[in-house]
Structure 1
Amino acid sequence: MDSEYQTLTRDGLWENNPALVQLLGLCPLLAVTGTVTNALGLGLATMLVLIGSNLTVSLVRNFVPKEIRIPVFVIVIATFVTLVELLMNAFTYGLFMALGIFIPLIVTNCAIIGRAEAYASKNPWPKAAYDGFVMGLGFAFVLVALGALRELLGQGTLLDGAEMLLGEWARDLRIQLIQFDYPLLLAILPPGAFIGMGFLIAGKNWLDARRQRKAAQSPVVKAQRARVTTVN
């Protein structure tokens, strides 16, 4: 894999994750992650919009004057959001109703506008499309992780309502892991989303710090530091 594609993959999935690092698109992320199904549905919708908008912006970047590039980007994003919304209305109506206003609000997602401006408008279409894919995938991973955490603690289940996204055959995918007499409202309500997101960010920061400590203790790094010290 080309080194730039490797960098894009690391950035999208971990180093520059739009949700965990850039903290973009938090409104829908916190609002609809009550279940894995809702989170996965919104994650896939956002990924499709990111890929389509990045690809289109890259293809027209040389024909759009700099003075109007942001309005043009918004129109492109709104077009793809409308297409995704119509497709969900036609094929996943239950999920479409569950997500509600947060589907059209993808238009205002700063992660999508930011990638169109920062990367797609400056790079050829294959790299722009791949950037949209990995950024969307990283965003979807966080959505699903937070949705799984909240659904498990709030309802004791995973993949509740999967048939809304995948069809009737997916009704059997529902897993009851914990039997609650009463649901844990803190996990279901917005405060639970903020707390869960905080734990995810803290977990990423802990893993990054641990990796840096291990890298600093490696023999290669120590040898390099010793050579620098000797030269000085």
Structure 2
Amino acid sequence: MATKTSSEIIRDGLWDNNPALVQVLGLCPLLAVTSTVVNAIGLGLATLMVLMGSNLAVSLIRNFVGESVRLPAFVMIIASFVTCAELLMQAYTYELYQILGIFIPLIVTNCAILGRADAFASRNAPGPALLDGAMMGAGFLVVLIILGGMRELIGQGTLFVDMHLLLGPMASDWVIKPFANYPDMLFMVLPPGAFVGLGLLIAMKNGIDHHLKERQKTLQPAATPGSKRVRVTGNVS
């Protein structure tokens, strides 16, 4: 397995192999809790912490775990970090923890986390494994925030509502209301709105990728007429 460079790992996590837009993993919490930005940030940070911690731990023990107990060991490591994230949220952001509810413990079943542990962390050194976890978690977090912002803005006509649940009293007046007397659009707050929003984000990413490929083709230098020489053999009459 060829070792990826740091730039390739960063690009993979944030764009080329984004867990939400390309791998399409972790959709259950992603679609369920992104009705507001603060919910998206809370879940995204918890997932980021678990990804980084589990990737690092799996990489450190990769040479000491047998093939027969490899996956159970990975699941135990992930569950341990999820428990740590859950306890931290209970201690410092209890109201947000109550809102996110069952979706924090369900991070254990997030296929993106187990997939990175098995496909990357178990085959690479701790440094690249930690960077991979950070970038995959950051990519997932960015998609959560964009989707949460889209749904909150279209559904309720606000942005950054209830940010004090995560950042304390200093964020209580961060609410942005771009539209006066905005009629709430319940569709975007409910699960169907989450599917539509995610579909739009995936379509936008695919469109950007297609545009970049077409642009790269047009920028490739065209062959000049004299760049190739044709050798003619035989008699010339």
Alignment TM-score > 0.5, same fold? yes
Stretch of structure 1 that moved more, 41-50 or 180-189: 180-189
SS state at 2:173 partner: helix
RMSD: 2.0
Aligned pair 1:120/2:121, yes or no?
yes
Structure-1-length-normalised TM-score: 0.94
* TM alignment of 1:50-199, pairs within 5 A: 50-180=51-181, 182-199=183-200
Look up the equivalent residue of 2:214 and give its one-letter code.
R
Deviation at 1:105, TM superposition (A): 0.2
Structure number with greater Rg is: 2
Q: In structure 1, what is the Cα distance between the partners aligned to 2:190 and 2:24?
A: 20
Counterpart Cα distance in 2 of 1:102 and 1:223: 56
Deviation at 1:183, TM superposition (A): 1.4
Q: What is residue 209 of structure 1 aligned with on the other side?
A: 210
Correspondence for 1:37: 38
Counterpart contact for 1:152–1:178, Cα < 8 Å: no
Q: Identity across aligned pairs (percent)?
A: 55
Classify 1:192/1:208 alpha carbon distance in 2 versus 1 (closer, same or farther; 3 Å): same
- Aligned equivalents of 2:219 and 2:174: distance in 1? 44
Counterpart Cα distance in 2 of 1:11 and 1:142: 14
CA distance in 1, matches of 2:167, 2:117: 30
Contact 1:150 1:196 in 2 (8 A): yes
Question: What is the deviation of 1:174?
Answer: 1.1
Larger deviation: 115-124 or 211-220?
Answer: 211-220
Aligned-residue offset at 1:36 = 0.4
**Cα pair 2:156 2:182 within 8 Å, conserved:** no
- Contact map agreement 2:50 2:82 (CA 8 A) in 1: yes
Q: Provide the secondary structure at the position in 2 that maps to 1:158.
A: coil
Shift in alpha-carbon separation, 1:194–1:62, aligned structure 2, 3 A: same
Query: Gaps spanning 5+ residues in structure 1: where?
Result: none
Structure 2: 5+ residue stretches without partners: 232-237
Mapped to 2, the partners of 1:83 and 1:45 lie a distance apart of 9
The Cα offsets for residues 68-103 of structure 1, whole Å up to 9 and x where unpaired, read as 100000000000000000000000011101100000
SS at match of 1:114: helix
Deviation at 1:13, TM superposition (A): 0.3
Deviation at 1:182, TM superposition (A): 3.6
CA shift for structure 1 position 3:
6.4
TM-score (norm 2): 0.92
Aligned to 1:5: 6
Q: Give yes or no for contact 1:57–1:116 (8 Å, CA) kept in 2.
A: yes
> How far apart are residue 219 of structure 1 and its match?
3.9
Are the counterparts in 2 of residues 155 and 180 from structure 1 also a CA contact under 8 Å? no
Match of 2:235 in 1: none
Deviation at 1:179, TM superposition (A): 3.3
Q: 2-side partners of 1:189 and 1:77: how far apart?
A: 30
User: What is the SS of the residue equivalent to 1:172?
Assistant: coil
